[in-house]
Structure 1
Amino acid sequence: MIYLIYDHHLNLNEWFVLALIIGGFSVIYYLPKFFPIITMIYGLLVGPFLGLVFDHSLAVPPVDLYDVGDDSKYELFDLLSYMMYSPFGYLFIYFYEKFHLKGLMNVLYILFWTILSIALEWVCVEVGVFHYKNGYRLAYSIPVYLFILSEHLFVFQYFFRKLHQRS
């Protein structure tokens, strides 16, 4: 494994991550609350959990398709960067419930959020949050997002939706 250093300073990539975290949690704070606390916790924790699982599956040796942050080694700020996924996971189920989606709309909703995820990942690459290597391309993330979002929706529907409807 080759150790790569992309940056040494607090700059655009860190500020972008902090802005996503602060902006995302601000949006959540001001949205009307209608989930039970356990559903809120699920929505806020599923994003960082899935981010960690997939990053540590795809971004570490032997696969090693991209780096997160300023260098190839895992840093403290990399751990903080997983918090940017927290509002994303919550907002995904929030708007799903708010719009009462069913049937084919589930597929369209997942496709919409996949496009949104790809756009956000592209920005993250541009500002230096992610650094692709070993031939990885943005398009390779599409099946990952389709899987993650489908699984997220399945788990929500199976375990949490009934809780939300009872409250």
Structure 2
Amino acid sequence: MSWTETGFGFNDYCLLGLIIITWGIFFYLPKLFSKQFTVLIFLYSLTFPSIIDNSFGVTPFDFYDIMDGPKYTGMDLVVYLLYLPYGYIFLYFYKKLCTSDKYIILYISIATIISFCFEWINHKIGIFHYKHGYQIIYSICFYLISQTILIVYYRVVELKR
């Protein structure tokens, strides 16, 4: 498959729409966390995907491209605006729904399925392009790991309060 940046296209419009929706959800939700902790959630939500993208999306692996090809454009960076509210939304519902430790595995599993579906939508509209044998199913491992780490981090912070 060949794709190149030819201008502002369908995937760019969809990306902006998704960003508006995810940030709209963030701003709509009541604030459960302090501003300082919200900043830490945002930092985590930006750092973890950046490390993964810059490890597996470039040489020697080069398993996928973001947006319109292998060259970085401004819209490649805009994609990261999707990740910031997701971590907050994930922890918000964790705090609201997981009143007992027995629900953590179920919660992470459901959140992983939701994340996988969201990535599949992003792939279908042309935000992610897989190559060199990468399959979207491999992303499940990254979701399980990143969401588990975020919950552990949250629990550590809560214990220190």
Q: TM-score, normalised by structure 1?
A: 0.89
Q: Which residue in 2 is equivalent to 1:110?
A: 108
- 1:74 match: secondary structure: coil
C-alpha contact (below 8 Å) 1:5/1:72 kept by paired residues = no
Shift of 1:100: 4.0
Change (3 A) 1:32 1:19: same
Q: Which residue in 2 is equivalent to 1:95?
A: 93
Q: Which residue in 2 is equivalent to 1:21?
A: 19
Is 1:147 paired with 2:148?
Answer: no
Q: TM-score, normalised by structure 2?
A: 0.92
- 1:131 match: secondary structure: strand
Shift of 1:29: 1.2
Per-residue Cα deviation, 1:92-150 (whole angstroms, up to 9, x for no partner): 01111122433221111110110001101111110000000000111111111111111
- The aligned amino acid for 1:85 is Y
- The aligned amino acid for 1:95 is F
Q: Which residue in 2 is equivalent to 1:86?
A: 84
Per-residue Cα deviation, 1:8-45 (whole angstroms, up to 9, x for no partner): 12122112221121111111112112211111112223
C-alpha contact (below 8 Å) 2:11/2:127 kept by paired residues = yes
C-alpha contact (below 8 Å) 1:45/1:89 kept by paired residues = no
Per-residue Cα deviation, 1:79-103 (whole angstroms, up to 9, x for no partner): 1111101111110011111224332
C-alpha distance in 2 between matches for 1:152 and 1:75: 29
1:61-72, aligned counterparts within 5 Å?
61-72=59-70
Structure 1's unaligned 5+ residue stretches are none
- 2:79 match: secondary structure: helix
Shift of 1:162: 4.0
- The aligned amino acid for 2:64 is Y
Is 1:119 paired with 2:117?
Answer: yes
- The aligned amino acid for 2:26 is I
> Identity, % of aligned pairs?
34
C-alpha distance in 2 between matches for 1:85 and 1:12: 20
Q: RMSD value over aligned CA atoms? A: 1.6
